[in-house]
Amino acid sequence: MLLSMHGICKSFNGIPALRSASLEVGEAEVMALVGQNGAGKSTLIKILTGAYRRDEGSIAFAGEDVSFNMPAESQARGIATIYQEINLAPQRSVAENIYLSREPRRFGLIDRRAMREGAVAVLRTFNLEIDVDQPVAHFSAATRQMVAIARAVTQKARLVIMDEPTSSLDEREVAILFETIRTLKRAGVSVVFIGHRLDELYRICDSVTIMRDGKTVATGAMAEMPKLALVRHMLGKELAAFEAIAKDADEGAQRPVRLSVENAGAGVRVRNVSLTVREGEISGLAGLLGSGRTETANLIFGADRLERGEIRYKGQARSYRRPAEAIADGIGLVSEDRKVDGIIPDMSIRENMTLALLPKLARSGIVDRARQDEIVARYIAALGIKCTSPDQPIKELSGGNQQKVLLGRWLCTDPKLLIVDEPTRGIDIGAKAEILRLLRRLADEGLGVLMISSELEELLAAADRVTVLSDGTSVAVLPRRELSEAALFAAMAHQVE
C-alpha cells in the first residue's frame, strides 16, 4: 500500500464532517473517490495534504506514519493535488508554471534554457507538443490540466489527487486526460480520482472508495462494483420519515402542460434533456451531482442560453435571453446556492422578498410602501417566517427562514411555474417537511412546480413524477406509481453509451 488512512475523524465547531473515514491506495493504482455533496471527500483530501488537522486516526504514506502540518510538507513527500480550479499562474508561461518556486538555477540566476528544455521533455511524455513559452491562459482547460499534472510529475509525485478533473472538459479532452493518467500509472504513480460521472469512473479507475455522511461505506475493485450497488452506497442513507404528499400522476395526466422541454442542450453539461411540468403537479428532477440538473434549470429560466432543442411554455416556443424575460412570463427560480445566487445579505427581509415584484409595486418608479408592507406581512405570516421584524437583514435568519423568504420572493409575483433547486438543502428536518408541504399546497392551487433534488426521500415523498438525468441526458421518466428507491437507483446508474 502506498497510502492508508484509517479511522479519520474531524469536526468543525462540534459538527462532525468525518466519522471514521478510511482510504487505501496501492502502488500504481487509480482509485475513484466518490460520494454525494457533503459526504466528506474534500475534507478527507485536505486532511491528507495537511490543509486541515485531523482529530483522530492514522495516516501511513509509503510505509511511514505521517502527519502533515501544511500542504507544502505533503508536496515535498510526493503528494500532488490538482484542483478543479487549477492552481496555476495564468499569465506565466507553461515552463514557468511547471517549475514555479523550484526553478533550475545557474550561478544563482534562473536557468531559462534548462527550464524550457525540462518542460518540453516532461510534456513530451504525455504526447503534448506545445509552445512552453506561451502563457498558460492561452491554452484549453485540458492542456492546462496537463500542465498541472506535468508539474506534479517533475515534483516526483508518487500520488496525484485529481478533484473533478473532467468537469470542464469536452469528450476529446477527457480522452487526452485519461491517456495522461494511464501514462502516470505506467510510471508507477498512483492517482486518486474524485469524480461524479459514473461511466468515466468505470473507464479509468481500478478501484473505488465510496463515502457517505463522513464515513467510508464501501471499497472494492471497480470492475466488481455494479453501478447499481455504487449508486446505492452513495445515496442509501436511512430514509427520513416524510409523509407521502405526492399524488398519482394519473390523476393529473389530463391537466394542461405548463412547461415542456424537448431535447434541450447547451455546452457540455446539458446534452439532451426532455421533461414536462403540468399545471398543479410537482415534477421531480433527479440525478447525481454533475448530471446537469441545475444547468437545465438555468436554461429554462434564461440564465443560460439554449443552444439545441426546444422549450415550450404554455404551448409556445420560448427561448429566454435573460431571467427578466422568464420572470415576465410568470416563471420563478429558487436557486441551489442560497448564499451565492439567492439572498442579498445586507438587505432586509422586506427588500429581499419584494425584489422580483418591485417594478409592479411601483407607480412611476416610486415604490408603494403601504402595499409592499402589506404583501411582506402576508407572506411572513403565510410562510411562517421567524424574524424580529421585516426590517431585519436576511443574513441574520436561519437557513430555513432564508429559504422561505426566497420562496416568498417568487410567490408574491404570482408565478405559474416555479423551479426549486434543492429547496431543502442546509435546512433542519422540521423545516424540510414544512417546505415540502408548502410546495404541495401551492401545486394544489394550480402552480406547476419543477423540483430538483438530490435527496431521494424528498422526491419519493413529494414528486408526482420524476425525470432522471444522467450526464446531461434525461434517461428515464418515472410516474408516481413506478417511483421507488430501487427504480431511482436503477435510473441514475443508467449508462449512456
The CA-atom distances, in angstroms, between 18 and each of 5, 24, 35, 163, 463 are: 12, 16, 13, 18, 31
Binding mask 3-42 for other proteins (x = CB under 8 A): ---------xx-x-x-------------------------
Minimum Å gap between C-beta 328 and other proteins is 7
In whole angstroms, how close is the CB of 73 to other proteins at the nearest point?
Answer: 22
Residue 182 or 386 with smaller CB distance to other proteins: 386
Please tell me the distance from the alpha carbon of residue 320 to that of residue 300, in angstroms, as a whole number.
Answer: 8
Tell me how crowded residue 364 is: count the other CB atoms within 10 A of its CB: 4
For residue 424, the minimal CB distance to other proteins (Å) is 15
**Residues 54 to 83: which contact other proteins by CB under 8 A?**
none
Q: Among residues 123 and 327, whose Cβ is nearest to other proteins?
A: 327
Please report whether residue 432 would count as binding other proteins according to CB under 8 A: no
Identify the residue among 123, 343, 456, 492 touching other proteins (CB under 8 A). 343
Of the residues 105, 113, 322, 481, which one makes contact with other proteins according to CB under 8 A = 322
Cα 51 off chain centre by: 22
Distance CA 210, CA 397 (A): 35
228-236, 265-273, 389-397, 452-460 -> range binding other proteins (CB under 8 A): 389-397
Which residue in the set 29, 163, 173, 351 belongs to the binding site for other proteins (CB under 8 A)? Answer: 351
What is the nearest approach in angstroms of other proteins to the Cβ of residue 156?
32
Least Å distance between CB 325 and other proteins?
A: 8
Judged by CB under 8 A, how many residues of this single chain contact other proteins? 45
Q: Using the rule CB under 8 A, give the single segment among 124-132, 184-192, 244-252, 323-331 that binds other proteins.
A: 323-331
CA distance 149 to 82: 7
Per-residue DSSP letter, 95: H
375 Cβ partners below 8 Å, 6+ apart?
A: 353, 354, 357, 361, 412
| Closer residue to other proteins in complex, CB, 182/369 | 369
Q: In sequence order, which residues have a C-beta less than 8 Å from that of residue 467 and are 6 or more positions away?
A: 274, 275, 283, 284, 285, 286, 474, 476, 477, 478
Give one DSSP letter per residue of 263-281, joined into a string. EEEETTTEEEEEEEEETT-
Its sign, for the CA torsion 334, 338, 344, 350, is positive
> What is the x/- site pattern for other proteins, positions 264-303, by CB under 8 A?
-------------------------------------x-x
CA distance 10 to 18: 5
Closest distance of CB 289 from other proteins, Å: 17
Short-list 397, 290, 382, 388, CA closest to 339: 397
- Among the listed residues 60, 367, 382, 476, the single contact to other proteins using CB under 8 A: 367
Q: In a 3-state reduction of DSSP, which class is residue 378? A: helix
- The Cβ-side half-sphere exposure at 233, using a 13 Å CA radius, reads 20
User: Could you say whether residue 373 binds other proteins (CB under 8 A)?
Assistant: no
**Separation of alpha carbons 291 and 48, rounded Å:** 28
CB 97, CB 86: distance < 8 Å: no
Residue (19 or 112) nearer to other proteins, CB:
19
User: Which residue stretch of 82-90, 162-170, 321-329, 449-457 sits at the interface with other proteins (rule: CB under 8 A)?
Assistant: 321-329
Where does this chain touch other proteins (CB under 8 A) — which range of 125-133, 309-317, 320-328, 487-495? 320-328
Does 333 sit near other proteins (CB under 8 A)? yes
Residue 24 Cβ, how far from other proteins at the closest point, in Å?
Answer: 25
Cell digits of residue 427: 435546512
Binding residues for other proteins, rule: CB under 8 A, are: 12-13, 15, 17, 43, 301, 303, 322-324, 326-328, 333, 335, 340-347, 351, 355-356, 358-359, 361-362, 365-367, 369, 386-388, 392, 395-399, 401, 409
